Amino acid sequence: MSWSGHWHGYGPWIGPSAVYGKEGGRRPPHPNGPPAILDPEDKKQQAVLDRYREAAAEFATGNVPPTMTGWWLAKKNQVSADRTWADVGIALAWLTKQYEENPPFVRADGLQAYCGLDDKLEYASDVLPRGVDVSWVYYLPSERLISYSIVCCPNRFHPEIDCPLPPS
């Protein structure tokens, strides 16, 4: 599998699992636009249209992670020059820093809740150079979720999304 490109880092997002679980605002607007309203007086149809518009606005401006990692590239307000890399080693160092600053919760019984940093880095260092995105999502000791991602650009799975910020 051959891929050539760069990487964008997104996050970390920290918040309640209930917000993360609301998928409407984590999906991009439909390419064909909002649903058609056949009867402007129909309150149910209007409610569907209103929710569509609300979710589209949430996706465009919000910082909650999208349901598909590659969709981060469409969230133009979330890209940053200091989180855009042409060197995978720098991207991996950013992942490590996020993890070390925000370690996952530790189970009271001492059993491991998540795989360790070494395993996560081994996987990321294998797949990122091949154009596969990486997302790390887990619970913090505060019982809030954390999510941060590295997205390959151009994106293998969403080639229609333009690069939001080429590396300098």
pLDDT digits (tens, 9 = 90+) for 92-124: 999 999 999 999 999 999 888 899 999 999 999
Tell me how far apart the alpha carbons of residues 93 and 106 are, in angstroms, rounded to a whole number.
Answer: 23
Query: Does residue 60 lie within any of the structural domains?
Result: no
Q: What is the pLDDT of residue 145?
A: 97
Query: Does residue 114 lie within any of the structural domains?
Result: yes
Per 3-state DSSP, the chain is made up of helix, strand and coil in percentages (nearest 5) of 40, 15, 45
Query: Does residue 54 lie within any of the structural domains?
Result: no
Query: Does residue 6 lie within any of the structural domains?
Result: yes
The amino acid present at 102, given as its one-letter code, is N
Model pLDDT for residues 27-85, shown as the tens digit of each residue = 998 888 887 877 878 888 888 888 888 888 889 889 999 999 999 999 999 999 999 99
Number of folded domains in the chain? 1
Tell me how far apart the alpha carbons of residues 145 and 101 are, in angstroms, rounded to a whole number.
Answer: 14
State which residues form the domain around 130: 1-16+80-161
Query: Does residue 117 lie within any of the structural domains?
Result: yes
Q: What is the pLDDT of residue 1?
A: 66
Query: Does residue 2 lie within any of the structural domains?
Result: yes
Query: Does residue 61 lie within any of the structural domains?
Result: no
Query: Does residue 139 lie within any of the structural domains?
Result: yes
Q: Is 26 helix (H, G, I), strand (E, B) or coil?
A: helix
